[in-house]
Chains A and B, each alone.
Chain A
Amino acid sequence: MHIHFLDSYRPGDSLIHRLEARIKFILTIAFILTTALTPQDAWPVYLLLLTIVLSVIVLSDLGVGTVLKRAMLAIPFILAALPTVFTLKGEVAWQVSLGSLEIRFYQPGLVRFVSIALKSWLSVQAAIVLASTTQFTDLLMAMRAVGVPRLMVAIFSLMWRYLFVLADEALRLMRARAARSGQSDRPDLKPGGNFAWRTRITGGMAGSLFIRAIERSDRIYNAMLARGYDGEVRSRPLPKFELIHWLMLIGGLLALVCLLGLAHFGF
């Protein structure tokens, strides 16, 4: 099976892959909400949350290393929280003198910074597991189940269908531009043009994508009409949510609630 470089889904047959999409979807969001609601210095609870997510990763056969590596992508944003270390005043954890400059690392600031980093890291791992073990069509069904309007789901569905087609077009546009981005042998000439020119060219590429997309949508619309589309979005009924599913869902939610209770009142 040709895996498009963009697709996050990794086919597999693990317990997590086979788990009902609606349960996975709701529990992932609940897990992220739990990390968000966990108090900043409830370190033992963070450890428990990490254990939970790592266990799920192991059960999903995704490979802990692979998931952790992908989780690193969200790290750059942590710079936004870095200043808090120096501005959230309280007990001084560490002091550094650079000439006449005194740089203080405050403890409350450090606590906040580390907790933000942890919450973010835990949340993104959960999101990666969800996306890697659930086919997009199943995620759409989960969205329908939690109440996302049919029209919205239909737009998602069509976007997904054409996402890779258009992404490939974008890739080819960039390759075509690269192929014509040459450097002359003449030493007096500077390649690359200026910023304004480069961005306008990129804009033309985007414009080309959009125009072709709009014209393609005309053809898609005609094809849909030919199959009896009348504007009303109908979809297959959702498969039955069995008792065992309810039990798993409620069990998972209860576990997270208990963890929260522990976090807030147990320490």
Chain B
Amino acid sequence: MHHSIEIRHLSFAYPDGHKALDDVSLKIEPCEKVALVGPNGAGKSTLILHLNGILQGQGEVCVAGLPVTKENLGKVRARVGLVFQTPDDQLFSPTVYDDVAFGPLYQGLPIEEVQARVEEALETVHMRAYAHRVSHHLSVGEKKRIAIATVLSMKPEVLVLDEPTAGLDPRARRSLIKLLDELPLTMLVSTHDMYMVRELFPRMVIMDQGRIVADGDTQALMADEALLEAHGLEKP
């Protein structure tokens, strides 16, 4: 069990030539909670897509002790749970149960174990009663929590989230922050929500134009207003 992320000198350019990542190196220790911040277009989402091999660039990416290569993709994806920004694009089964069950079912787990995993995952996100509801009709906040459950049912070692609080009303946001606080996993969260960063994440990584420009203690970095402003961030 490694529960860590290690990226060494990662670079990536899109087919149209746009260089999205430029020599990025990052090491996240087991059970660390790290926030990834920066302006739009900084490369945060691109970086996240490298963590489970959806994109592959030059350099080394090692997740939960496994190098992310073509041969390892299956095993890597079982160990890192990626939750994307738009829940609608992640909930593609008729019912909540079906969506949360997809991960374990794909892995080939026996049906009783799938059942147990689904219940456990839904319990963790406090949505046990929603098992037979239709995802399409839920609110954004509820969908976001279900999306997290769909990944938790795979029992990942590392959890990566892209903009978890975007588009949520204050109540839903509060409830999601509380949930993230409760999860004991290693976590990397890309976000614009600086208040959440200050509250939950002891370590902050600032990205801009494909590079990491700062990486350190959240409180210390947030005190540096000039730094924040230079990279399109606001001090909370």
Known contacts: A173-B89, A180-B103, A183-B77. The answer to whether A2 contacts B16 by CB under 8 A is yes
Digit string of A190-226 for contact with B (CB within 8 Å is 1, else 0)? 1111000100010011011001100000000000000
Can you list 15 A-B pairs, Cβ within 8 angstroms, ordered by A?
A2-B16, A5-B15, A172-B84, A175-B84, A176-B89, A179-B82, A180-B103, A180-B106, A182-B78, A184-B108, A185-B78, A193-B105, A193-B106, A201-B92, A208-B136
Identify the interface centre among A176, A180, A181, A211: most chain B CB within 10 Å of its CB: A180
Known contacts: A205-B92, A208-B92. The answer to whether A175 contacts B106 by CB under 8 A is no
Chain A residue at smallest Cβ distance from B14: A5
Structural contact, B88 and A201, CB atoms closer than 8 A = no
Q: Which of B95-147 contact A (CB under 8 A)?
A: 98, 102-103, 105-109, 136
Structural contact, A189 and B108, CB atoms closer than 8 A = yes
**B86 interface residue per 8 A CB criterion:** yes
Structural contact, A208 and B78, CB atoms closer than 8 A = no
Instruction: Kindly identify which residue among A180, A185, A197, A205 contacts B75, using a CB–CB cutoff of 8 Å.
Output: A185
**A73 interface residue per 8 A CB criterion:** no
Structural contact, A176 and B77, CB atoms closer than 8 A = no
A19 CB, min distance to chain B CBs, angstroms: 25
**A243 interface residue per 8 A CB criterion:** no
Digit string of B64-105 for contact with A (CB within 8 Å is 1, else 0)? 000000000011111101101010111111100010001101
Structural contact, B106 and A208, CB atoms closer than 8 A = no
Digit string of A151-190 for contact with B (CB within 8 Å is 1, else 0)? 0000000000000000001001101111111111100011
**B52 interface residue per 8 A CB criterion:** yes
Give 16 A-B pairs besides A175-B54, A182-B154 with Cβ atoms closer than 8 angstroms.
A169-B89, A172-B86, A173-B90, A176-B90, A180-B102, A180-B151, A182-B77, A182-B78, A189-B107, A189-B108, A191-B74, A191-B106, A201-B93, A201-B102, A204-B94, A207-B92
**B49 interface residue per 8 A CB criterion:** yes
Structural contact, A176 and B84, CB atoms closer than 8 A = yes
How far does the alpha carbon of A186 sit from the alpha carbon of B28 in the complex, in Å? 26
B211 CB, min distance to chain A CBs, angstroms: 20
How far does the alpha carbon of A192 sit from the alpha carbon of B91 in the complex, in Å? 18
Chain A residues with CB under 8 Å of chain B are: 2-3, 5, 169, 172-173, 175-185, 189-193, 197, 201, 204-205, 207-208, 211-212
- Residues of chain B with a CB closer than 8 A to A3's CB: 16
How far does the alpha carbon of A172 sit from the alpha carbon of B82 in the complex, in Å? 12
How far does the alpha carbon of A2 sit from the alpha carbon of B41 in the complex, in Å? 12
B130 CB, min distance to chain A CBs, angstroms: 18
Digit string of B14-28 for contact with A (CB within 8 Å is 1, else 0)? 011010000000000
Structural contact, B92 and A181, CB atoms closer than 8 A = no
How far does the alpha carbon of A172 sit from the alpha carbon of B103 in the complex, in Å? 17
Known contacts: A176-B90, A182-B103. The answer to whether A192 contacts B154 by CB under 8 A is no
Structural contact, B84 and A192, CB atoms closer than 8 A = no
Structural contact, A211 and B136, CB atoms closer than 8 A = yes
A3 CB, min distance to chain B CBs, angstroms: 5
- Residues of chain A with a CB closer than 8 A to B92's CB: 173, 176-177, 201, 204-205, 207-208
Chain A residue at smallest Cβ distance from B108: A189
A164 CB, min distance to chain B CBs, angstroms: 14
B223 CB, min distance to chain A CBs, angstroms: 36
Chain B residue at smallest Cβ distance from A4: B16
Known contacts: A2-B16, A211-B136. The answer to whether A181 contacts B108 by CB under 8 A is no
**B150 interface residue per 8 A CB criterion:** yes
How far does the alpha carbon of A200 sit from the alpha carbon of B69 in the complex, in Å? 28
How far does the alpha carbon of A175 sit from the alpha carbon of B92 in the complex, in Å? 12
Structural contact, A175 and B49, CB atoms closer than 8 A = yes
Instruction: Kindly identify which residue among B15, B16, B74 contacts A182, using a CB–CB cutoff of 8 Å.
Output: B74
- Residues of chain B with a CB closer than 8 A to A204's CB: 92-94, 98
- Residues of chain A with a CB closer than 8 A to B102's CB: 177, 180, 201
- Residues of chain B with a CB closer than 8 A to A177's CB: 92, 102
- Residues of chain B with a CB closer than 8 A to A5's CB: 15-16
How far does the alpha carbon of A173 sit from the alpha carbon of B15 in the complex, in Å? 21
- Residues of chain A with a CB closer than 8 A to B154's CB: 180, 182
Known contacts: A2-B16, A179-B52, A180-B102. The answer to whether A191 contacts B107 by CB under 8 A is yes
Structural contact, A183 and B78, CB atoms closer than 8 A = yes
Identify the interface centre among B15, B52, B102, B106: most chain A CB within 10 Å of its CB: B106
